[in-house]
Structure 1
Amino acid sequence: MTVDDILAPEAVILGLRASAKTALLEDLARRAAQSLALDAATILGALVRREGLGSTGIGDGVALPHARLESVRKPFGLLARLREPFDFDAVDERPVDLVFLLLLPTAEGDDHLNALACVARKLRDPDIAAALRIARDAAGLHASISAPSFSHA
């Protein structure tokens, strides 16, 4: 599985304004609901429940809010670079400026775990994160996260 299987070019947001985790999750849930023709409140509820288990702020300014939903048939992603970083209760206590929303089907399967691992691996790559932070437009953001990764020796 690749990021291109999860993230459509039109599902990238540059300069998103958010001042708090709840407001950000509400905005992302609304956008995902429009893309998937689902109920925003259902998506938000699943995201909030997952955040209740522990922050999805994975460190280095990155958050990966995710949830499983019965109405989702295949992994779906939204990528946002925030206008201003803010506190997301990340594991390293650093403010977050890159957010990848990932919605997964409830059916268990390797593909779904692979989707989460694939996105996390990309976002944890310092070169990719740097490219995401300097991209000039949404197409540049999408290209930066979609580019093949090369492991560092």
Structure 2
Amino acid sequence: MDTQVQLSEILNKEIMAVNLPGTTKDEAITQLANLLYEEEYISSIESFIKDIYYRESLGKTGIGNYIAIPHGQSESVVKNGIAIGKFTNEIPWESLDDKPVKIICLFCVKAGDGGENEHLRMLAALAGKLGNDTVVENLLKADSIDDMKDAFL
């Protein structure tokens, strides 16, 4: 399968944002969860965030280069997706390079129901792009949602 096709299927501008305020992990995750809730990807912000934090407790989701990919499966997920936010401030985060993050890709995946396979497929599609320094540079420079989406595609 072609990664680009997968990403174009996954990326939804309605759950992407740039120039987000926030200085903490809580604020960042809550803002992205709100986007998911508004677009009916999740049925409960509280339940979803609780499941994300459970996964956070298992290991670092900051992958370096100012990027974090928090994820987890949740009963509150109605449809799978990835909320992507670029923050104006550096957010303290547990990351592989011990740096804060500015780009957060919050995975939203249904629990059970083969969700883990879809989760791995989405993660593989995104991780391939996030391993590319040019993509990361373009994400960090993005001033609009279109810029951000273009960086991935």
Q: Same fold (TM over 0.5)?
A: yes
Which of 85, 92, 115 does residue 87 from structure 1 map onto? 92
1:133 paired with 2:140, answer yes
Percent identity at matched positions? 24
Which of 31, 49, 53 does residue 48 from structure 1 map onto? 53
Deviations 1:33-57 (A, max 9, x none): 2212511101111111111111211
Which amino acid counterpart does residue 84 of structure 1 have in structure 2?
Answer: N
Q: How many residues align?
A: 146
Decide whether the 8 Å contact of 2:19 with 2:88 is kept in 1.
yes
Structure-2 residue corresponding to 1:151 = none
SS in 2 for 1:77: strand
**Unaligned 5+ residue runs, structure 2?**
none
Q: C-alpha separation between the residues in 2 aligned to 1:111 and 1:101?
A: 14
Q: C-alpha separation between the residues in 2 aligned to 1:50 and 1:135?
A: 28
Which of 67, 72, 75 does residue 70 from structure 1 map onto? 75
TM-score by length of 2: 0.86
Decide whether the 8 Å contact of 2:44 with 2:76 is kept in 1.
no
Q: C-alpha separation between the residues in 1 aligned to 2:66 and 2:14?
A: 23
What stretches of structure 1 move > 6 A for 4+ residues in a row?
none
Pair 92,42 (structure 1): closer, same or farther in 2 beyond 3 Å: same
Which amino acid counterpart does residue 96 of structure 1 have in structure 2?
Answer: V
Decide whether the 8 Å contact of 1:64 with 1:120 is kept in 2.
no
Structure-2 residue corresponding to 1:18 = 22
Structure-2 residue corresponding to 1:9 = 13
CA RMSD of aligned residues (A): 1.7
Decide whether the 8 Å contact of 1:87 with 1:93 is kept in 2.
no
Decide whether the 8 Å contact of 2:21 with 2:87 is kept in 1.
yes
Decide whether the 8 Å contact of 2:48 with 2:76 is kept in 1.
no
Which amino acid counterpart does residue 141 of structure 1 have in structure 2?
Answer: M
- Name whichever of 66-75 and 122-131 sits farther off: 66-75
- Name whichever of 132-141 and 65-74 sits farther off: 65-74
Decide whether the 8 Å contact of 1:87 with 1:94 is kept in 2.
yes
Report deviation, 1:75: 2.4
Q: C-alpha separation between the residues in 1 aligned to 2:33 and 2:103?
A: 16
Report deviation, 1:72: 2.9
Pair 26,136 (structure 1): closer, same or farther in 2 beyond 3 Å: closer
